Amino acid sequence: MAERRSKHEIIFDILNLISSKNGRVKPTHILYGGNLSHDRLKKYLEELINGGFIQKQEEKGKTYYILTDKGYKFIEEFKKIEEMTQAFGI
């Protein structure tokens, strides 16, 4: 059985998913790719917007989420932390 993801792992997964789509993505892509329920996803997206990691953009009646510089930076730092955690076995 897969281990439950921590909050930070979920945040990283969401941000990484947006990054993989050139930093701009529709909510449905995050919903399918993030492996989260709609309610939980909504909660995380609000938190990420409030934290300045992503921005919400409306274009021709469609909603997009865009990764900010802070979001990109978080991805890089979290990757390093993950590498360190793996390397040192902590």
Q: Could you give the string, one character per residue 60-89, with x where binding to other proteins holds by CB under 8 A and - elsewhere?
A: --------------x--xxxxx-xxxxxxx
Reading phi first (left if > 0) and then psi (alpha if -120 to 50, else beta), residue 79 is in alpha
Name which of 61 and 89 has its Cβ closer to other proteins: 89
Give the chain's length.
90
CA-based angle 80:19:1, to the nearest 5? 65
Residue 57 or 83 having the CB closest to other proteins? 83
Number of residues that bind other proteins (CB under 8 A): 16
Q: Which is nearer to other proteins, 46 or 83 (CB)?
A: 83
CB 51 within 8 Å of CB 44: no
- Name the residues that contact other proteins, by CB under 8 A: 6, 8, 74, 77-81, 83-90
